[in-house]
Amino acid sequence: MKIKIIAGLLGFVLMSCGNNEKTKTEQVIAEEVPVQTFKNEGHELVYNMVQKVGDYKMLDAKNDVVYTYTYQTPDGKADVSTEKYIFDGELSYAAYKKHERTLPNLEGLIEQGYDGKEYWLKHNGVQITDEKQMSRVVFNRGTNFYWFAMMQKLLDENVKYDYVGDKMIKDANYSIVKVSFITDNDKPTDTYQLYINKETGIVDQFLFTVADFGVMDTPFLMELEYESIDGFLLPTKRKYKASTWDADVTDAPWILVNWTNIKFDNKLTEKDFKI
């Protein structure tokens, strides 16, 4: 009888210890998961959208991407480049096999890069340091990377959100969020107005300015089509043209932007972005 009692007590003690350990583990997990808070309704709408398309942690986990970027204007001129990015540090490289819009005066292969510290430009393997041409490199590298990672970067710390309201456009109901950026200086920054489809939870279109070229009063309207690739919803087909802040457009032709041959995790390193 004593043996049975002792065995029963031992089993109870072990069960209690197991439950205590489980409780401790659950407490640790609960403490490690931060509670998501929002600055306002606009921030919450953008956050939920990013969860639909894939956030920056997912990009970081892929390390890098390589894809073909095609940009075509209504006059038929086009840029076609092979783009390479590392997401940690926003390293960027492009090799232009066609550049009728970007530095069209240079014939042959053009390579642009940002290695995390410096921008550089090569023409047929020879470095170019001309200030005017380098300014275009700075714009291209920053802009092309941002367009690719835009949805994810809309959760950056320096982003401001303003919920504008709801609107029906072409039988779709949208939540509209205006996005701007906090800077350490008085330099103008771009403004975006996102149209988040209430049914799908993703951005079908957005208005944007181009502060680097002084386009602030009259925005462009960008329309998007998505593809599902490696767990992401990527806006691989884009078209844009001049608009109004009410998202009205004219009958003018569109500028077309396409991303193709997208491949993540190519084992790129910082050396691949050095001149």
pLDDT per position as a tens digit, 136-176: 999 999 999 999 999 999 999 999 999 999 999 989 999 99
Rounded to an integer, the average pLDDT of 246-272 is 96
Q: Are residues 12 and 97 in the same domain?
A: no
Residue among 99, 83, 88, 100 nearest 59 (CA) = 88
Residue among 91, 116, 92, 112 nearest 102 (CA) = 112
State the distance between the two ends of the chain, measured CA to CA, in whole angstroms: 83
Q: Are residues 29 and 160 in the same domain?
A: no
Q: Are residues 6 and 128 in the same domain?
A: no
Q: Are residues 145 and 12 in the same domain?
A: no
Q: Are 22 and 14 in contact (CB under 8 A)?
A: no
Tell me how many domains the chain contains: 2
Q: Are 212 and 193 in contact (CB under 8 A)?
A: no
Question: pLDDT tens for residues 25-57?
Answer: 555 544 566 789 999 999 999 999 999 999 999
**Which range is least confidently modeled, 26-30, 32-36, 126-130, 235-239?**
26-30
Q: Are residues 16 and 117 in the same domain?
A: no
Is the pLDDT at 101 greater than 90? The verdict is yes
Q: CA-CA distances (angstroms) from residue 138 to 64, 89, 271?
A: 20, 15, 19
- Read off the pTM: 0.86
Tell whether the torsion through CA atoms of 166, 227, 221 and 41 is positive or negative. positive
Q: What pLDDT does 26 receive?
A: 55
Question: How far is residue 161 CA from its own chain's centroid?
Answer: 16
Q: Are residues 191 and 65 in the same domain?
A: yes
Residue among 255, 271, 235 nearest 76 (CA) = 255
Residue among 148, 149, 151, 110 nearest 260 (CA) = 148
Rounded Cα distance between 86 and 102, Å, is 22
Q: What pLDDT does 223 receive?
A: 98
Q: Are residues 15 and 124 in the same domain?
A: no
- Phi and psi based region of residue 170 (left: phi greater than 0; alpha: psi -120 to 50; beta: remaining): left
Q: Are residues 13 and 144 in the same domain?
A: no
What's the mean per-residue pLDDT of the chain?
A: 90
Residue among 186, 164, 160, 159 nearest 175 (CA) = 164
Report the DSSP pairing between strands 91-99 and 110-114: antiparallel
Is the pLDDT at 13 greater than 80? The verdict is no
Rounded Cα distance between 52 and 47, Å, is 9
Q: Are residues 5 and 116 in the same domain?
A: no
Full domain range(s) for residue 206: 41-273
Question: How far is residue 35 CA from its own chain's centroid?
Answer: 23
Q: Are residues 16 and 49 in the same domain?
A: no
163 Cβ contact list (under 8 Å, min separation 6): 40, 41, 42, 45, 175, 176, 177
Is the pLDDT at 10 greater than 50? The verdict is no
Q: Are residues 24 and 107 in the same domain?
A: no
Q: Are 137 and 109 in contact (CB under 8 A)?
A: no
pLDDT band (50, 70, 90) for residue 252: very high
CATH for 231: 2.50.20.10
Q: Are residues 169 and 228 in the same domain?
A: yes
